[in-house]
Structure 1
């Protein structure tokens, strides 16, 4: 839909992007967080509802991340799975663990959603 946009954020901006999208899921086509975790504050988690199950989420984690540990990434995977969220998870390490590969993967994920009419 032309009236919706995707939110993308990195580090704390990634967590904020998820929080904003969860506050008004009807306004966004999806959200990408690069090395930023799922918000843990009670307002964000309590606001999860059926609208969130239609909001695609791409959660990306780099082994080079300073403020977003691998353990927290794994916790976020469990949280999203338990909440029934339509989330995709990507972990990058080695040669593919640089921003150019991560952003290229963002583009592929976005184009796949658009090309397959998966945007609500």
Structure 2
């Protein structure tokens, strides 16, 4: 592990003014005249907005601004709060019993948008993510074409859904020990997603999400023409230094291949 990963110290701030509670990682020796890549950090089930922010120094203490977001659904264990999740739409199919949300007719979708007071959970999630990004960009200098979604576990399912739904808004997706969400057509915007970059890193000993599932998801995306890099590691469902080193390398390679803004 490089010395900067050992010695790195990060800083974060928390804001409750957006629809999703968030925390920011500010690089050491932050330079306001430099347009930083932004990593939108989406935690695993049972985590919170700080879970991946705390891992940022081990990724790089100087290369990125980080925006950690908290899932909207509390996770309770033995009647105590044990973290947060991203909701039933992103659960492992085995956990959710292969639940698929019923497809609404166009008329019903219009009726709900006009008369139902409670917004759709996916709409609220999208609003929260984009609001968090806008607020971060108003405070810190972020490169508009270098906004990446980085998700771990259940957060990777969120990253997949957002990235493949809005490929024009994001520079790529990093999926760590995750899965494609159920009830979602990952290639629904096939033409827009062609050449969309994705990095999948997965623990070979992951008993929660078997390596075979990750390989299947990679095959699905590659069949649609997406540029998917894939690597497995001798670890379980937790982050490893090797994973983080490869994520950093992949991100920087994509950043340096883009023109400055």
Q: TM-score, normalised by structure 2?
A: 0.41
Pick the structure with more helix per residue.
1
The alignment covers a number of residue pairs equal to: 115
State the SS of the aligned residue for 2:194. helix
C-alpha RMSD over aligned residues: 2.2
Distance between the aligned counterparts of 1:30 and 1:19, measured in 2? 12
Deviation at 1:46, TM superposition (A): 5.1
- Pair 111,69 (structure 1): closer, same or farther in 2 beyond 3 Å: same
5 Å-filtered alignment, 1:59-74, equals: 59-74=200-215
Determine which of 95, 102, 108 is the counterpart of 2:243.
Answer: 102
Deviation at 1:98, TM superposition (A): 5.0
Distance between the aligned counterparts of 2:224 and 2:181, measured in 1? 13
Distance between the aligned counterparts of 2:161 and 2:167, measured in 1? 10
Comparing 11-20 and 73-82, the one that deviates more = 73-82
Q: Contact between 1:38 and 1:76, CA under 8 Å: does it hold in 2?
A: yes
State the SS of the aligned residue for 1:3. strand
User: Are residue 18 (structure 1) and residue 130 (structure 2) matched?
Assistant: no
> Could you list the runs of 5+ residues in structure 1 that have no partner in the other structure?
none
Q: Contact between 1:30 and 1:56, CA under 8 Å: does it hold in 2?
A: yes
Specify the structure having the higher radius of gyration (Cα): 2
Q: Contact between 1:28 and 1:55, CA under 8 Å: does it hold in 2?
A: no
Deviation at 1:105, TM superposition (A): 0.8
Q: TM-score, normalised by structure 1?
A: 0.83
